[in-house]
Chains A and B, each alone.
Chain A
Amino acid sequence: MKWLTCKETSRLLSQGEDRGLAFGERVALRVHLTICTGCRNVRVQFKFLRRAVARLSDAGDSR
């Protein structure tokens, strides 16, 4: 199995929000995330961005 770099991981984390990842990608991602705090934080932040932008539209409606 190929080891992911943080750079590749950030790309897969982003794509995971937009498409279904292949089995191999999910495995590689999980392995990297178990050893990398920085990438784990980025995963949480990407998901947070989605909720934040959704909140923006709520606020926009009342403006």
Chain B
Amino acid sequence: MRYASLQLRDAASAEDAVQEALVAALAGESGFAGRANLRTWLTGILKHKIVDVIRRQKRERPAPAMDVADETEFDALFDERGHWEEAPDVWQQPEGSLSQKQFLAALEACLKALPERTARVFMMREHLGLETSEICKELGITATHCWVMLHRARMALRQCLEMNWFAK
């Protein structure tokens, strides 16, 4: 079980793999017939099942559209020389906002408006306090990719809060 968990990083999938391996082992009992020892034989079956599960996961959760740096991404915000179209202003009384319920509701709404994966990475970083390396490992993305998504999230959130809260 631990062997399967290590490779699937998800208890439910690991359980599936182990169960399938055991079923396969019981069904194919005759295949054992004194070959190697029992442990080696079972581990061999389990390996195949783990690969099956990983393949199935890939099929069910197809690789997401690449979130790599898109040079045109922030074109609306910057002019062709890379300067702000509209320089960001100081936010008035940000600390006071923190204790207001309406502000937190506005922040939540802004988070919900983010693309799902971008929001997920941002929350893993800022809410769970994970390091980029841990997020990369968990989601199977590169560090660069992770930074691109975090940057995107911060830019979108600052814009959203500016429009919906600080401009008022």
The chain A residues found within 8 Å of chain B, CB to CB, are 5-8, 10-11, 14-15, 17-19, 36-39, 41-42, 44-46, 48-57, 59
Taking CB atoms, residues of chain A closer than 8 Å to B77 are 7
Find out whether the CB atom of B132 lies under 8 angstroms from the CB atom of A49.
no
Interface size on B, residues (CB 8 A): 37
Question: Is B38 an interface position by the 8 A CB rule?
Answer: no
The chain B residues found within 8 Å of chain A, CB to CB, are 74, 77-78, 81-84, 87-91, 94, 97-98, 101, 103-104, 107-108, 111, 122-123, 125-127, 132, 143, 146-147, 150-151, 154-155, 157-158, 161
Find out whether the CB atom of B132 lies under 8 angstroms from the CB atom of A45.
no
Bound-state Cα–Cα, A44 to B104, Å: 18
If A41-B90, A55-B98 touch, does A49 touch B158 (CB 8 Å cutoff)?
Answer: yes
If A7-B78, A45-B91, A49-B157 touch, does A57 touch B147 (CB 8 Å cutoff)?
Answer: no
Taking CB atoms, residues of chain B closer than 8 Å to A50 are 126
Find out whether the CB atom of B158 lies under 8 angstroms from the CB atom of A45.
yes
- Dominant SS at the A interface? helix
If A52-B98, A57-B127 touch, does A14 touch B78 (CB 8 Å cutoff)?
Answer: no
If A53-B127, A56-B108 touch, does A6 touch B150 (CB 8 Å cutoff)?
Answer: no
List the 8 closest A-B pairs by CB distance, nearest first.
Answer: A5-B82, A38-B87, A14-B151, A7-B82, A53-B126, A41-B88, A7-B78, A38-B84
Bound-state Cα–Cα, A11 to B147, Å: 9
If A10-B151, A14-B151, A18-B147 touch, does A53 touch B107 (CB 8 Å cutoff)?
Answer: yes
Give 11 new A-B contacts, CB below 8 A, not counting A14-B155, A18-B150: A6-B78, A7-B82, A11-B147, A15-B150, A39-B84, A44-B91, A46-B158, A49-B126, A52-B103, A53-B126, A56-B107
Find out whether the CB atom of A19 lies under 8 angstroms from the CB atom of B132.
yes
Taking CB atoms, residues of chain A closer than 8 Å to B150 are 14-15, 17-18
Find out whether the CB atom of B147 lies under 8 angstroms from the CB atom of A19.
yes
Taking CB atoms, residues of chain A closer than 8 Å to B88 are 38-39, 41-42, 45
